[in-house]
Structure 1
């Protein structure tokens, strides 16, 4: 890795990973503002702002933005998450100045035209409708809302029909001024990019950013509980979760490895036992979502209505079995999967730009591959056993979308799993 970082006078951080063998560059601005930054009446404004950034500035129309980047064969896009928003481009090396200029323009000079806003609200309502009609999307929204009840971190990124329709151009300008500050933004680039040249471009194009401190986030508190949506479906979508770890927690990498061991691929414990041996579902995997001060370990499964009653006891047995002990082969395989994923990400300039931006925001420095590998290597079987036992003993979160006959609750999970954990750990 060839990583360099510079902080500009106004607080904006510029980070690059030069990849000399490439002739293209991936670059963008990552902002420490996501749906978690919103007040209840603002739910969905971060996502709407991301859309509106491409709908015209003081000097470029929406059409000109699209035509200008595509005239050089480039791509320009954006994405909103719970804690971050990013605006990114992929261009040839010689077109990096154009990409920087365009991103700087849409972030500092957006027009927020009334007619464009009305059209984009309609587009987002279509997105909301599509998510509502997709059970495997809806179950995750329900899960997040249940895991962090009555908190910004638990609200949907898209917002609601009512909040989206309420936003005005002035609302967007106020939110932009409050949250898009130099101190919480990172300009990251990877590929065919010169660090010093990018710093000079950033100093010129982003000079208008405010250097005032950004608002503090309210702390998140994992709550757990039951979220159920009744639908007349042939299938049941479910997500079962437990309290996880924040990014900087000592056990962060241990829970990441645990998620890979339990349901990280076709060779994982959950897939082999529940999907392959018992045939109780057609899809099952586990994951760990980490945030600044909270996290969740969870399992997603999709199964038939008639198989739910058998699926849950089998799932409880696998979770308790992990707390009792995990085989060395499982640990080695999980570490190899994570290691390969890291190496593969280094070969993609777009993935690498996002990775170094997020690491700079989370850790205030870019972690080397060796540093990450050392942290993964420290995860032992005893460590996994301890982390599994403590994680699965936390308050469960259970979210289901499906027929009314599915009436399992988080309390049912806690009672069933608690007995099995006591027996397994005590054995």
Structure 2
């Protein structure tokens, strides 16, 4: 049976744990007529070795081909017949299966998701077809410049580490999967030690706990080995291609999501290029007209992360845009204006509280927090952490991203744009 672990300090959400290690989160939201149910495994593409690259994503596809007593058609029809929606997503550190439903849809949603996670049929004929589908997805990504340029940057940043490989894998790596080996991978990837069942919206705690015990209380399996620590390698990946625009990504090493400076990194990225009032948007687009699209972001994993800048621009402007991006990073590392910091904090908190209005976002966020921290964080706790960030913390982030003297740069576009890689490196590090 389950045991309560923690009640969120300022809310109704509660965390329980089943005897087999599966954790259950109940987050009722009064007044809603819908609910969201997420079954989240705290493993993903980062757990793969090179030979199994892409298997987590392939498995996510395959469980929808048939599970329990339901065919692929039955899985979606039974959910949609009740007004619900079903989806899934594979990331580097997490795999998530989700159902949105009307009030009263918890029982059916849990039965279907439990079958997907624990009892997929994994038929050989389905696997052969799905390998073709994923192969088309890989080809489509390769034909999409603003997809492939991020994969190039990821590879430049993390090299042979799993974080440096595409979540989709390669046609060669997914070709080796068989129903047996994929089934073994399922047992490791979705093992109960990293499984979280989270429900938010029109849900009742007693009903959820009974359903979770029924559908996930017998889940078994030995988890995949812990992935190796990631180290930022850095380097340049540049490819000349006949395109209308140059696509640029600049990455610098930074902290992970569990680090005390996590929110300082998020705020640094927000001020640098998080919106129309950001430094990059104002300088590169509004003042100089160098790019239509330019933004900065923080991509974080458990123990590491990156500060990133993406831009799409004319090939002839790429080198100059790279200098501007480098200059703005260095300037922000030196000084932040109080009004900028206040605005960034307001934006970050607004995003947090707006997401709280979606049951699915609440369920996914709570599951992620439990997987990372072993508990749920209240919105007030997060807001207080954001408010505590000072200018000195941003200066520390700026010094940290520049100190190693390494960047990962990817450029995809007409040949003149390739100069942007060296331009960025030289402007930052001489």
TM-score class, shorter: over 0.9
Aligned with 1:226 (options 209, 225, 236): 236
Q: Which residue of 2 aligns with 1:105?
A: 115
Instruction: Tell me if 1:135 matches 2:145.
Output: yes
Distance 1:212 1:159, change over 3 A: closer
Aligned residue for 1:403? 414
Matching residue within 251, 262, 269 for 1:252: 262
The reply to whether residue 204 of structure 1 matches residue 220 of structure 2 is no
Question: 1:212: Cα distance to partner?
Answer: 4.0
Asked if residue 382 in structure 1 is aligned to residue 361 in structure 2, the reply is no
Within the candidate set 263, 267, 284, 1:274 is matched to 284
The one of 14, 26, 30 equivalent to 1:16 is 26
TM-score, normalised by the number of residues in structure 1: 0.95
Question: Equivalences for 1:42-53 in 2 at 5 Å?
Answer: 42-53=52-63
TM-fit CA distance, 1:403: 1.7
Q: What's 2:133 paired with?
A: 123
C-alpha separation between the residues in 2 aligned to 1:200 and 1:275?
55
Tell me how large the CA RMSD over aligned residues is: 1.4
Equivalent of residue 353 in structure 1, options 363, 366, 373: 363
Unaligned runs of 5+ residues in structure 1 are 420-427
Q: Are 1:108 and 1:208, in contact at CA under 8 Å, matched by a contact in 2?
A: no
Inter-CA distance 205–415: structure 2 relative to 1 (3 Å threshold): same
**TM-score normalised per structure 2:** 0.95
Kept in 2: contact 1:287–1:298 (CA 8 A): yes
- SS across alignment from 2:67: coil
Cα distance in 1, alignment partners of residues 270 and 357 from structure 2: 22
Q: Secondary structure at the match of 1:408?
A: helix
Deviation at 1:407, TM superposition (A): 3.2
The 3-state SS of whatever aligns with 2:343 is helix
Q: What's the offset of the Cα at 1:211?
A: 5.6
Partners of 1:198 and 1:116 lie apart in 2 by 33
Displacement of 1:299 in angstroms is: 0.3
1:179 Cα deviation after fit:
2.1
How far 1:15 moved relative to its partner?
A: 0.6
Note the alpha carbon deviations across 1:294-339, whole angstroms, 9 max, x for none.
1111100010011113212222221121122011111011000001
> Larger deviation: 176-185 or 403-412?
403-412
- After superposition, give the CA deviation of every residue in 1:37-56 in whole Å (9 maximum; x if it has no partner): 11101011000100111111
Residue in structure 2 matching 1:418, options 406, 424, 429? 429
Q: Deviations over 1:142-179 (max 9, x none)?
A: 11111100111111011111112221111211101222
> Which stretch has the larger CA shift, 336-345 or 210-219?
210-219
| Aligned mate of 2:248, from 238, 242, 247 | 238
Match of 2:403 among 393, 410, 415: 393
* Runs of 5+ consecutive residues of structure 2 not aligned to the other structure: 1-10
Q: How many residues align?
A: 419
1:322 aligned to 2:332? yes
Equivalent residues of 2:245, 2:312 under 8 A apart? yes
Q: 2:158: which partner in 1?
A: 148
Contact persistence 2:36–2:201 (CA under 8 A): yes
